[in-house]
Structure formats: C-alpha cells, structure tokens
Amino acid sequence: MEFEIEITNLEVHLQGSKVLRGVDLRVLRGEMLVILGPSGCGKTTLLRTIAGFESPTDGRIRIGETIVSDQNVHVPPNLRKIGMVFQDLALWPHLSVDSHLQLVAHENQELISSILERLQLSDKVKCFPSQLSGGEQQRLAIARALVTKPEILLLDEPFTGLDWQLKDESITLIKKIQEDFNITIIYVTHDQFEASKTGERFAIMNDGRIIQVGTLVDLLDKPQDEFVATILNPLKTYNKL
C-alpha cells in the first residue's frame, strides 16, 4: 500500500503541556481519512503539525518520500504542498473573493475561474467575506486552499456552524473535489454523524493519541476499548432506530 502521509510516534508540547502523546497514523494516497475525537484531544494540533505550523518534540512525519518533520528536519509549510481550511476559515476580511484567490494562485486566471465555477462562487467574485453567507464563506476557504494545487488537503472542522442541509451539500462537494482532484484529505471533526457521512476510513483520537483506525463497520463491530465504543454509540443507536 502506498502511504501519502506516515506519522510515527509524534509528540508535540505546547506551552509546557503535552498535547500529542505518540501519534501513529498512516494515510493512503488519494483517500479521505476522518479523525474523530472530542474537543481538546489534539486534533487541530495534529493538523497544524502536519502543515508545519508546529514542530514535534519527538517522532516523525513523512509526506510522500520526504521526511518533513522530526527533531532535526523542519520543511517549511509552503514546501509541503498542503492546503488547509481552518475551523474559523481565516478569510481575509479586506479582500474580495477574487482577490483571495489571485493572491495565492499567482494570478493563474484559468485555474481561478475553473475553481470559482466548481464551487459556485462565480457570481460572488467582487464580494467581501462579510457579504457572503456561511456556506459561501466555507466554499471560499476551500477554493483558496485548492487554487494552490495541493496534494494534501487538511480540513479542520470546516463546516461547524452550518445547518444540516448545508453541511450535507458541503460534504458532497468535498467528496466530489477529492475525486476530481485526486487529492488526499484529512478531515477533522468531533461530530459523529458528520464523520459517518464524510469518511471512508476513521481514526478515533483521544487525549493526544490515535486509539483505533478502521472503517466505520470495523469500529462499530470491534471497538478497541470503551472510549471508542462510547464515542460511536450515537451512531449505533441511530442505526438501530
């Protein structure tokens, strides 16, 4: 099997506290892996470390054939071919939709137009983030991540705050993007239902560690411990209903 990302025994300390405590994770090329875990378990820190915004105190991250993070190596974020959508989207308040993409796409107008069209933002090019709806803002953040032509897309709870209908539409859009761009996606969420609709493979995370990785059926049938069983319990109950 070909791994796009291989994380080995990753430890990260932030402001004196151990946030990641030996994370081991392998992400296949072109797959959408969902990381599911409660708030504060280290999901965002894991994504930030993969992106290169945090440095590990121990362990290693390999992307493709290159080691990008360990105690001696730190490949800067812009050389990792990663796009990221933050939980609060981090849109630039002073820039229009068009300028958002122009700024990062090195004025590749053809690519910008195609992504704007695909994400249904073509008629909003002159709008500023404050003039967009919640769903449009999410799509702009995704568009901005895509125009850099990343090989890996990190999504940190990107659809928080959207209603269920919009969430469903957005998840469908993400799946379509993954197929079209043949991109590897790591999708982080604390919402079991959102996770179940999104992913193919799931990594359950708690207290700075990956507890179990597998398909939803595997995890529901053979939870490794009580935490995995508990966090997936709402899905089990829902399926029975």
Partner 1 sequence: MAAATPLIVLTILLIIAAKTYMGDVPFIVISGGGRAGSGLFYSPGYAAASVFIIIFSMSVLLPVFDLIAQVHGWKIFWKACAIANKQILQSVLLAVAVALLTTTLAFFLAYWINRGRNLPTTLVEYACYVLFSLPATVTGIALILLWNRPETNFIYGRPAIVVIAHIMRFLPFALVICIAGLSGIDRKLEEVYLLAGKDGLRRLKDIILPPAKSSIWVSLAVCFILSLGEVGATLLVVPPGMETLPVRIYSLMHYGANKIVASLGLFLVALSLLCGVTLTLAWRRKWNLR
The binding site for partner 1 (CB under 8 A) comprises: 51, 53, 76-79, 82-84, 86, 88, 90, 92-95, 103-104, 128, 130-131, 144-145, 148
- Residue closer to partner 1 (CB basis): 95 or 235: 95
DSSP letter string, 54-111:
S--SEEEEEETTEEEESSS-B--GGGTTEEEE-TT----TTS-HHHHHHHHTTT-HHH
- Residue closer to partner 1 (CB basis): 64 or 214: 64
Query: Residue 52 Cβ, how far from partner 1 at the closest point, in Å?
Result: 8
Q: Which residues contact 15 (CB under 8 A, 6 or more apart)?
A: none
Q: If residue 153 lies in a helix (H) or strand (E), which one and from where to where?
A: strand 152-156
Query: Residue 53 Cβ, how far from partner 1 at the closest point, in Å?
Result: 6
- Residue closer to partner 1 (CB basis): 2 or 93: 93
Query: Residue 20 Cβ, how far from partner 1 at the closest point, in Å?
Result: 18
- Residue closer to partner 1 (CB basis): 93 or 123: 93
Cα distance between residue 8 and residue 25, in whole Å:
7
Query: Residue 148 Cβ, how far from partner 1 at the closest point, in Å?
Result: 5
The answer to whether 218 touches 200, Cβ cutoff 8 Å, is: no
- Residue closer to partner 1 (CB basis): 84 or 185: 84
Query: Residue 115 Cβ, how far from partner 1 at the closest point, in Å?
Result: 14
Partnered with residue 13 across adjacent β-strands are: 18
- For 119, phi then psi, to 5°, come to -95, 15
Cα distance between residue 154 and residue 82, in whole Å:
7
Question: Cα(first)–Cα(last) distance of the chain, in Å?
Answer: 37
- Residue closer to partner 1 (CB basis): 32 or 85: 85
